[in-house]
Structure 1
Amino acid sequence: MKKYIYWLLPLLWMGVIFYSSAQPYEEQNIKPFLGNLLNLSFLEPYLDWVSFTYHHSEVSTEVLGVDGLIEFFVRKGAHFGVYFILLLLFYLALKKTCRRTMWLLLALSYMMTITYAVTDEFHQGFTANRTPYAGDVVIDGIGAGFAICIVLLLHWKTKSGGIAK
């Protein structure tokens, strides 16, 4: 029964994600922090070439300013990182509670992670000044995919004797 405590880790992490998704954009906006605490204007010449469209909006220093551009990448990096961690927590819980192949555990972990990412985006549709976007699920999936790569790399290193057991 003690081994099922590992399921608390992904459940708690999912709670953190849910809480974050329930906050309106204004409560998560880090542009005032960036603008008041740090003067990042020196980065503008290095970032002025960045320009692309994301969710029907232009992402560039011209439109968002340096602070807004950095905030954009911090927010998208958070998507990547949060779901990277969630996959690892699902994998750990499954590994500790199920006797299946590593490949099946990774596939299940990925499916659970993506399922939660989709439901999280749906949940954002009910939050003030937040919109669900499939592109964010893609970023979440890339983060989860990188976590799979780390698990495989560690597994390979352990099996090949690169890491002491």
Structure 2
Amino acid sequence: MKYWIGPVLWMAGIFYSSSQPYQEQDIKPMLSEYIDLSFLNPVLDPVHFTYHHSEVSLEALGTAGLVEFFIRKSAHITVFLVLTLLFYYALKKSTRLATSGLMLIAWILTVLYAAFDEWHQGQTPNRTPYFGDVLLDTTGATIAVGILFIVSSFRKSEK
């Protein structure tokens, strides 16, 4: 049971984060005030696409807004990558499943929680759920499974 403390606490942190209105998580003022990001403008200038019905570009968001966008989307991938690893560890320590089964179940649990998290975010003022974020979360889970597969394969080859 103690092995499940990690994933439960991690999910609680995700839940708390999804409970906050966007204004409480906005890091653009901090980025603008403390860091001169203008050196990124030549690199960011060609970036231009639509995400969740909004234009993502230097012109539309400004330098701090575009940097914040990429930080937030990278956080989706990273947070759910870690959740998958925590699920895997808890499952490994509390079941006798084969490694491939552990990876699959950890991935499924993570994707289910990602979907729940987006739904929950939709219940939060000034936040909207978006399936694209679930895909980012799933990308993090998939990368974690890839890492676990590589580590597992490496360990098998050492034996």
Which TM-score tier does this pair reach, normalised by the shorter chain? over 0.9
1:27 aligns with 2:50: no
Give the superposition deviation at 1:157: 1.3
1:141 aligns with 2:128: no
Give 1:44's aligned residue.
Answer: 41
**Which 4+ stretches in 1 moved above 2 angstroms?**
none
Give the TM-score taking structure 1 as reference length.
Answer: 0.94
1:124 aligns with 2:124: no
Give the superposition deviation at 1:43: 1.2
- What is the alpha-carbon distance in structure 2 between the residues aligned to residue 47 and residue 135 of structure 1? 22
In structure 2, runs of 5+ residues without a counterpart are: none
The Cα offsets for residues 112-165 of structure 1, whole Å up to 9 and x where unpaired, read as 00100001000011111110000000000000000001101111111112xxx8
Give the superposition deviation at 1:42: 1.9
1:154 aligns with 2:151: yes
Aligned AA (1:76): K
Give 2:89's aligned residue.
Answer: 92
Identity of aligned residues (%): 54
- What is the alpha-carbon distance in structure 1 between the residues aligned to residue 75 and residue 84 of structure 2? 14
- What is the alpha-carbon distance in structure 2 between the residues aligned to residue 63 and residue 98 of structure 1? 50
Give the superposition deviation at 1:35: 0.1
Give the TM-score taking structure 2 as reference length.
Answer: 0.98
- What is the alpha-carbon distance in structure 1 between the residues aligned to residue 40 and residue 76 of structure 2? 24
Secondary structure at the counterpart of residue 130 of structure 1? coil
- What is the alpha-carbon distance in structure 2 between the residues aligned to residue 72 and residue 44 of structure 1? 15
The Cα offsets for residues 71-114 of structure 1, whole Å up to 9 and x where unpaired, read as 00000000000000000000000000100111111111111001
Give 2:59's aligned residue.
Answer: 62
Structure 1 residues 133-142 or 100-109, which shifts more? Answer: 100-109
Secondary structure at the counterpart of residue 160 of structure 1? helix
In structure 1, runs of 5+ residues without a counterpart are: none
Give the superposition deviation at 1:45: 1.5
Considering only aligned residues, what root-mean-square deviation do their CA atoms show, in Å? 0.9
